């Protein structure tokens, strides 16, 4: 049985996103500015965050400022404007231009690009060469173009398009890649720059569908699934006030924005009569998906889905009983289109409780008495469709103080045709004539540390073996060796399986019952390496993939590890550049950045639609509490969780 509740669009917290009316107000103020022209468009209209010191002192019910940040761009000359607005005073307080910046590619531009490409005479002629004259169901996928140093692309904001065919409107286009045909498109001018007809290969025509509307799927649906009914007769264990959530010992604020999508703010855990901060802010701040086929335009596939498109803009409107089960609380997401109008994504965020199996158990063999407790977790999730792929972001909070991010990847692999150069060396032929290239999904989480306060340190832990001798006569000893990461360069860290390396966030000014600094441990099972060469432009643009952990001083202007403006960026902004300053990061307000992901060498089983695969990480209390914080859980009852 599914039950729904929902948060209204009013504001009650300083971190609440802008409302629809506030987005309209901000757009109006910018349109009325002296620099505004008829060709001005809006990339982002979002909340300008209050200072952290204000947030630390703010109490519920007290007034708070409403200010906005606006990024706008003039499609006539390419100028990018960053504007500051005071919504309380209804005025523009300042602006600046950003030379060389190119804004993200947004939804209405993607739609217009696909329509214009399909009408271009050179494109129609290229399709005719391949024996395709009916373009009613042609599929054009605009892709961020990257930056490869081509002179004719230096001063234009472009998309690089890939082409697929559909046998019918609902047919799976990724089963019919049009290999060797790409289009360069000027997003600001709204016109085709060049049709790149590189090679002609047969277009695979066999259908490979997955939707229930197709007879071959509908006729083979299984009928042996017994229902699983999720019931909470007394309602959920969480309460929601605006966007602030209280769940058992946890308290946090839920944010949504166009670029990062789902964000959790001010995560605190109740320990006795104290609310103890753990993280000030947690978000997926960037990701990149580099493909491994070097030929016929496929080398340009290296999308930065957060910075070049915006995960929030592409979020799904989640459906009760389909994406989410049980007693669900929904939060809407509000973004803007290029005209400055608000776009409401209904049910962009879903929150619910899940049973999580055994929390802990012990059988006393002397008395045969059994003590067992069941675990549960609170799941806050959002799902985005980025072209062919779906990404589900699930922040899970646990009874023992653990914070986990699980990313689920599904959707359809981006395909190409079997070409005469690559063959299947750089991918897998998943259907006759259809190649799914090798690729990676690399994410970077930005974790604003607040372990019992804002003055924190990062510590690297390596497990070492003392040499055999008087202190280790049997050769069995091993121990943890801790190193405080004192500066940014020292905190550029990679995995090391030989020493079972991991990292901790500690507060050196707060001690636990054993006299040690309180802390949390980063559990990082999804560390993978990137496979682009170090001298490439991609390596510079995606410098965050060089290391699995970075630590920087908290700087509100440094929110995105690949830089503020990622589209066609040069790599001159971002975490690789910032950390060259080698600022101190010991016992101060710090951010830990964690890079994780998967290497995807496609399987036949991943086509025509990919079963979800998972990656992620967790922060687990490590000396934060003096003992197991779940001893107060009641004994488990037959038939369900406590």
Write the CB contacts of 152 (distance below 8 Å, at least 6 apart in sequence): none
Q: Which of 106, 170, 145 is nearest to 341 (CA)?
A: 106
The CA-atom distances, in angstroms, between 401 and each of 250, 282, 397, 549 are 8, 15, 7, 22
Report the alpha-carbon distance of residue 229 to residue 224 in Å, rounded.
Answer: 16
Q: Which of 498, 509, 504 is nearest to 551 (CA)?
A: 504
DSSP state of 574: S
Angle at which helix 121-129 crosses helix 107-119, to 10 degrees, equals 60
Q: Which 3-state string (H, E, C) describes 3-39? A: EEEECCCCCCCCCCCCCHHHHHHHHHHHHCCCCCCCC
Alpha carbon 387 to its chain's center: 15
| From 73, 291, 296, 389, active-site residue | 389
Q: Which residue has the tokens 């406590």?
A: 642
Residue 305 is among the residues annotated as catalytic for this protein = yes
Two tokens, residue 581: 């300053």
| From 74, 171, 293, 305, active-site residue | 305
Is residue 133 reached through a cis peptide bond, with omega within 30 degrees of 0 on the bond before it?
A: no
The CA-atom distances, in angstroms, between 569 and each of 144, 145, 296, 338 are 11, 10, 22, 21
Report the alpha-carbon distance of residue 66 to residue 49 in Å, rounded.
Answer: 9
Two tokens, residue 116: 């214009």
Q: Are 454 and 589 spatial neighbours (Cβ–Cβ below 8 Å)?
A: yes
The helix (run of H) or strand (run of E) holding residue 575 is: helix 575-578
Under DSSP, is residue 142 helix (H, G, I), strand (E, B) or coil?
strand
Q: Taking the alpha carbons of 193, 196, 147, 151 in that order, is the dihedral positive or negative?
A: negative
Residue 389 is among the residues annotated as catalytic for this protein = yes
Which residues are part of the catalytic machinery?
Answer: 305, 389
């Amino acid at each position: 049985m599914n039950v729904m509740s929902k948060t209204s669009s009013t504001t009650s917290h300083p971190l609440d996103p802008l409302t629809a009316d506030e987005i309209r107000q901000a757009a109006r103020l910018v349109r009325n500015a002296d620099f505004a022209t008829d060709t001005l468009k809006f990339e982002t209209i979002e909340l300008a965050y209050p200072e952290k010191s204000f947030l630390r002192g703010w109490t519920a019910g007290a007034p708070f400022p409403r200010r906005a940040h606006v990024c706008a761009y003039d499609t006539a000359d390419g100028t990018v404007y960053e504007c500051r607005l005071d919504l309380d005073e209804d005025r523009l307080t300042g602006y600046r231009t950003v030379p060389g910046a190119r804004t993200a590619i947004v939804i209405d531009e993607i739609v217009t690009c696909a329509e214009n490409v399909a009408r271009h005479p050179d494109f129609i002629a290229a399709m005719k060469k391949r024996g395709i004259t009916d373009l009613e169901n042609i599929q054009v996928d605009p892709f961020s173009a990257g930056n490869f140093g081509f002179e004719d692309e230096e001063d234009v904001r472009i998309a690089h398009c890939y082409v697929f065919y559909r046998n019918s409107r609902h047919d799976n286009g990724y089963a019919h890649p049009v290999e060797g045909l790409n289009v360069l498109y000027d997003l600001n001018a709204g016109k085709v720059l060049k049709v790149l007809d590189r090679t002609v290969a047969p277009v695979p025509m066999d259908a490979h569908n997955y939707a229930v509307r197709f007879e071959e799927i509908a006729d083979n649906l299984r009928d042996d699934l017994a229902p699983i009914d999720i019931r909470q007769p007394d309602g959920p264990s969480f309460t929601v006030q605006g966007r602030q959530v209280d769940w058992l010992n946890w308290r946090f604020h839920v944010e949504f924005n166009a670029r990062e999508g789902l964000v959790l703010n001010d995560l605190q855990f109740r320990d006795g009569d104290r609310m103890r901060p753990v993280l000030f802010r947690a978000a997926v701040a960037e990701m990149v998906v580099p493909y491994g086929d070097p030929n016929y335009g496929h080398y340009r596939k290296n999308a930065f889905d957060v910075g070049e498109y915006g995960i929030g803009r592409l979020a799904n409107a989640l459906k009760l009983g389909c994406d989410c089960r049980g007693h669900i609380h929904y939060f809407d997401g509000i973004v803007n289109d290029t005209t400055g109008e608000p776009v409401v994504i209904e049910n962009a965020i879903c929150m619910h409780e899940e049973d999580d199996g055994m929390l802990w158990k012990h059988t006393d063999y002397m008395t045969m008495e059994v003590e067992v407790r069941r675990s549960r977790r609170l799941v806050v999730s959002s799902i985005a469709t980025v072209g062919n792929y779906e990404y589900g972001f699930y922040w899970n909070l646990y009874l023992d103080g653990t914070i986990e991010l699980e990313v689920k990847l599904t959707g359809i692999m981006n395909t190409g045709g079997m070409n005469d150069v690559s063959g299947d060396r750089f991918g897998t032929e998943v259907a006759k004539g259809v190649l799914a290239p090798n690729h990676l999904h690399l994410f970077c989480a930005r974790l604003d540390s607040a372990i019992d306060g804002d003055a924190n340190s990062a510590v690297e832990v390596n497990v070492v073996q003392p040499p055999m001798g008087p202190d280790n006569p049997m050769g069995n000893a091993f121990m943890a060796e801790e190193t405080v990461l004192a500066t940014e360069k020292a905190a550029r860290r990679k995995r090391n399986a030989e020493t079972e390396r991991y990292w901790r966030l500690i507060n050196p000014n707060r001690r636990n019952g054993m006299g040690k600094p309180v802390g949390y441990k980063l559990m990082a099972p999804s560390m993978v390496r990137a496979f682009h060469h170090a001298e490439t432009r991609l390596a510079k643009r995606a410098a965050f993939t060089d290391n699995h952990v970075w630590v920087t001083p908290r700087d509100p202007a440094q929110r995105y590890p690949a830089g503020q403006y990622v589209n066609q960026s040069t790599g001159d902004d971002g975490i690789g550049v910032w950390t060259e300053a080698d600022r101190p990061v010991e016992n101060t307000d710090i951010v830990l950045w964690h890079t994780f992901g998967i290497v995807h060498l496609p399987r036949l089983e991943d086509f025509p639609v990919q079963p979800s695969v998972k990656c992620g990480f967790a922060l687990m209390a490590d000396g934060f509490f003096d003992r197991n914080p779940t001893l107060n859980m009641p004994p488990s009852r037959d038939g369900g969780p406590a």
